[in-house]
Structure 1
Amino acid sequence: MPTMVFSMLAALDVEPGNRVLEIGTGTGWNAALLCHRLGDLNVVSVEVDERVAAEARTRLLAAGYHPELVVGDGARGYGEGAPYDRVVATCSVGNIPGQWVGQARPGAVLVAPWGPVYGGEAVARLTVTRAGMLNGRFVGSSAFMRLREQRRTLPPTNAFLDPRAWPAGGAESTTSLCPDDVGDWIHMFAIGVQVPDLFCRVSDVQRDLYRLWLFDTGGTSWASADHVRGAGSFRVVQSGRRRLWHELESAWCWWDAQGRPGFDRFGLTVDHRGHVVWLDEPSAPVPRRGRDARMRGEAV
């Protein structure tokens, strides 16, 4: 997608003499653009798929470019070519690998698509500090294939309940929050960073209705919300130790109360606390809910 390639390169903001580590060679086009700007010797590109790497190498050679192409696990970076002034990933992550940071110079820029388990994803532009921290803002939405090491196999629906037995004794209620109003990319991002172990599925899709399912990755709880086009209230069923719809609704209400911020108002810090998403300023971390909040001793 040319607009995504160019917007990420703009965020990377390379300068003459920079050394760049690219995670995910793909077709080789992005690597070729970097070579054209910086010269072959300053570009290292890592691709996990041997066949894809071979095809990219053929294309690059045909175009007259000779970056260092490495077949390997991109999560490990490429220490032999370090240190780097820029790191760019063409796959998404939920955790920035420590090797990327360790192989970058202080002051280096790291550009990577980042997103929570629930969904919603944006490109983060982060700067490496002398203390080995990362800090920066999100610069726009994205939708990339996940880094292989971080792909998750989420529990199937039948690990929680037999959908044919729904409502399966769950606690029933209604909500005025329409399931359609929590399904956009920014909604999923705002919800997902607040409830990190939440994921969703959709079933029973018909012309004017569908069922939104919520689950936790620990396999303890589930919820469903039935969308009916034009309705003013929607049936909710919840079961397990947690009330997942209530957690989602609280997360959405927080986002709404902040003025419905877009991706550009969010930022990310990676330090001894882990990955901390903030709103407007690093001193204003986004609240955590559900299991994660309980572990931190925060209000749910």
Structure 2
Amino acid sequence: MTSEATERAPAGLLRLVERVTGPLPAPWRDAFEQVPRAAFLPDVVWLQLADGLPDHTPCDRATDHDRWNDLAWSDTPAVIQVRDGREPESGEPAWPSSSLSQPSIVAAMLLVLDVADGHRVLEIGTGGGWNAGLLAHRLGGANVVTVEVDPGLAAEARGRLDALGLRPTVVAGDGAEGWAAGAPYDRIVSTCSVARVPSAWLGQAGAGGLIVTPWATAWATYGNLVLTPHQDGGARGRFAHGGAFMSMRGQRSRVRDVTTVVRAGDAPDTGTTTLSPWDVAGGDRPAEAVMGLVLPGLRTHWNDDPTEDDDFRSRLWIWDDALTSWATVDYDGRQLETFRVRQHGPRRLWDEVAAAWSWWTSAGRPAFDVFGLDIGPDGTQTVWCGEPNGLSWPVPPDGCS
């Protein structure tokens, strides 16, 4: 990219964003033009090695300026940290732990946030600081508080924001706790996904406030929750289509290696199914998001790299958060009409998945945004479909996704 193109980059990025969102209101157009995304990227960013893989490779601005610059001004997410800031050792995957989100998704979330002049906003997940910078430009730095769990990232973001004269309050701390010192807030927005809404956010939202957060379940990470807190300490909201965000660090999965779920001596029951594992976990994010809502606490993992001793081409693993039950569904590489199923434990997990899929399809496949969430004054959180008094499912109490 030439220096001339770089000078035009904010306007070019705005055009890319508006292809997705449509024309932005004037205050947000001005923010996207005046708060340069590139100013919030470190000199080393991380590029995904291949679609679908968690591994990333570093890209240094000094030695690969064109690729770095292209990433800065494209409508794609930019990973700024891997492995919570720990340099990967040989053979370790460089999984992403912080990023600047995709600009069009950033803009869409800011529109849903529905801010007005004078609003005070709490942002959870500062990351590189760009989203906080956009908010500070729109509302004034004195009206924006942003919380980042990683002290190093918080310090770097504070420096970038100060350099541009934006100066929101940057707090290094646990975003699940919010920041009570600045409450109440008119708006709370999270840039990390949650599987359960932290109670502190409800307590720090002012009258007439709004909470917007990406959502995650054990099954899938997709979309947003738009939540209105109530005076009794509860809240109600609906889900909305959207992107996928990294999970809040305190709500990450406890299990990274699926083989730890299987114990020596497990003797699974074996059968077959005509339901394709790709229907329920094959990359259709909206469908997977619905499965996550109606199958609380169930997780999946694909094994597409069998050994010579394995008798499958692809295997879908399913297990429960309590680590009491597991199931596998195998594709033999030859035909797609039937699949081998193995199930072990007190729960028959694939039977539960098949029943959920049957309900969803017979109900006309209600979309993700037909579902909503209720939070009771006692903290119980319940997902519902259609109407709050309709069919419902509990949100697991530990909030690990």
Q: Same fold (TM over 0.5)?
A: yes
2:177 maps to which of 73, 76, 82 = 76
Q: Deviations over 1:37-75 (max 9, x none)?
A: 111111011111111112111211222201111111111
For residues 170-214 of structure 1, give each alpha carbon's deviation from its aligned partner in whole angstroms, at most 9, with x where no partner exists.
Answer: 2111111001111122333222222222111121447x9300111
Correspondence for 1:275 = 381
The equivalent residue for 1:5 is 106
**Where in structure 2 are the equivalents of 1:227-238 lying within 5 Å?**
227-228=331-332, 230-238=335-343
1:115 aligns with 2:219: no
1:181 matched residue in structure 2: 279
- 1:125 maps to which residue? 226
Q: Does 1:135 align with 2:236?
A: yes
Aligned to 2:294: 194
Pair 1:213-2:317 in alignment: yes
Q: CA deviation at 1:273?
A: 6.2
Structure 2 unaligned runs (5+)?
Answer: 1-101, 307-311, 397-401
For the 8 Å contact 1:22–1:44, the answer to whether it is kept is yes
Q: Partner of 1:149: helix, strand, or coil?
A: helix
1:71–1:288 distance in 2 versus 1, CA, 3 Å? closer
Q: 1:16 and 1:204 mapped to 2: Cα distance?
A: 51
Instruction: Determine the C-alpha separation between the residues in 1 that align with 2:237 and 2:165.
Output: 35
Q: Which residue of 2 aligns with 1:225?
A: 329
Aligned to 1:17: 118
Q: Check 1:273–1:87 CA distance in 2 against 1; reply closer, same or farther (3 A cut).
A: closer
Matches of 1:134 and 1:287, distance apart in 2? 16
Q: Which has the higher contact order (CA 8 A, sep 6+)?
A: 1
Q: Which moved more, 1:16-25 or 1:256-265?
A: 256-265
- 1:5, 1:158 → 2: CA distance? 36
Residue 41 of structure 1: aligned partner: 142
SS of residue matched to 2:221: coil
Contact 1:202 1:211 in 2 (8 A): yes
Deviations 1:270-292 (A, max 9, x none): 11362211122212233469xx8
Shift of 1:35: 1.2
User: How has the CA–CA distance of structure 1 residues 276 and 285 changed in structure 2, closer, same or farther, with 3 Å as cutoff?
Assistant: farther
Q: 1:295 maps to what in 2? A: none
SS for the counterpart of 1:88 is: strand
Letter in 2 for 1:36: H
**Aligned equivalent of 1:255, options 352, 355, 360:** 360
Instruction: Provide the residue aligned with 1:285 in structure 2.
Output: 391
Moved more, 246-255 or 182-191: 182-191
Q: Which residue does the alignment assign to 2:201?
A: 100
Spell out the pairing of 1:26-37 with structure 2 (5 A cutoff).
26-37=127-138
Output the CA distance in 2 between the equivalents of 1:218 and 1:136: 28
Q: Which runs of 5+ in 1 are unaligned?
A: 293-300
Counterpart contact for 1:190–1:252, Cα < 8 Å: no
Letter in 2 for 1:79: A
Q: Which residue of 2 aligns with 1:169?
A: 267
Superposed CA RMSD in Å reads: 2.2
- Which segment is superposed worse, 135-144 or 246-255? 135-144
Q: Which SS does the other structure have where 1:260 is aligned?
A: coil
Where 2:392 maps in the other structure, the secondary structure is coil
1:237 deviates by 1.1
Q: Which range moved further: 261-270 or 174-183? A: 261-270
Structure 2-normalised TM-score? 0.67
TM-score, normalization by structure 1 = 0.88
Say which SS state the counterpart of residue 218 (structure 2) adopts.
coil
Alpha-carbon displacement from aligned partner over 1:96-129 (angstroms, at most 9, x marks no partner): 1111110111220000011211223221111111
Distance 1:161 1:148 in 2: 26
Residues 107 and 130 of structure 1 are in contact (CA less than 8 Å); yes or no, is this contact kept in structure 2?
A: no
Distance 1:36 1:155, change over 3 A: closer
* CA distance in structure 2 between the partners assigned to 1:213 and 1:177 by the alignment: 15
The one-letter code sitting in structure 1 at the alignment partner of 2:131 is: N
| Offset at residue 160 of structure 1 (A) | 3.6
- Structure 1 Cα separation of the partners of residues 288 and 273 of structure 2: 18
Q: 1:153 aligns with which of 226, 232, 254?
A: 254
